[in-house]
Amino acid sequence: MKKILWIFLILIASCTHGIENEEPAYTFSVNIPEGWRKLDTDKFLIITKDIAYKQYALIQERPIDRPFKHTLKKLKRSMLPQEVAGIIVDEISSDINISNFRLIENTPTKINGQEGFKILFTYRDQHGSDFKTLYYGFIKGEIFYNLRYTAKKIEYFEKDLKTFEKFVNSFTFIRM
C-alpha cells in the first residue's frame, strides 16, 4: 500500500511541476458566417463565400521561430505590435508574386483583448488581378496569429467587409 501511495504522490508532483513551467496551450474558436464554406487544412483555417480566388478569410497560427519566405527578419516574443506589423509588411511586399503593393493603413488594434495591429493594403497578383486585404495580427506566447480577409478589390471587398469584422470579433481562445 505504501508503494502505491508513493507512486501516486510522485505522479501528482510531476504533473503539477509540468503545469507550472509550461505555457498554456491555446487554440481558437470562431463563428463561420452563414453562407460561407470552411476549407480546413492542417496549416490554417480558410473560409469563402463564393470561390477562394474571389474572396476568402483566413486564420493562421504560426510559430514565431518559423522563418519567413521573403524576408530575413524574424519575429520575437517581446516585439511591439507595430514592429511585428513592419515585418509582415516587409514579407508581403517582398514576395515576387505580388506587384503594385500599396499600404493604405497600419494601426495598432486589439483582437480578443490581445495587443495587435491592423494593416490594409492592395496588390496585384501574377495574373494581373487586383486584390485588397485587411490583415490583423498579434503574438501570444510562442505563436503569431493572423486573421485576414482578401478579396478582388472591385467586386467583393466592400461587400463582405462587415461579415469579416463579425468573424474577427467572434475569435476566442480555447484552453487546451
Please name every residue paired with 131 in a beta bridge, in sequence order, or none if there are none.
Answer: 123, 152
For residue 68, count CB atoms less than 10 angstroms from its CB and return exposed for 0-12, middle for 13-18, buried for 19 or more.
middle
**In terms of DSSP bridges, do strands 99-111 and 55-63 run parallel, antiparallel, or are they unpaired?**
unpaired
> Which structural domains are found in the chain, ordered by start?
24-175 (3.40.1000.10)
Residues 108-125 pLDDT 10s: 999 989 999 999 999 999
Residues 38-52 pLDDT 10s: 886 778 899 998 877
Residue 174's pLDDT is 87
d(CA 134, CA 136): 7
Contacts of 161 (CB under 8 A, 6+ apart): 134, 149
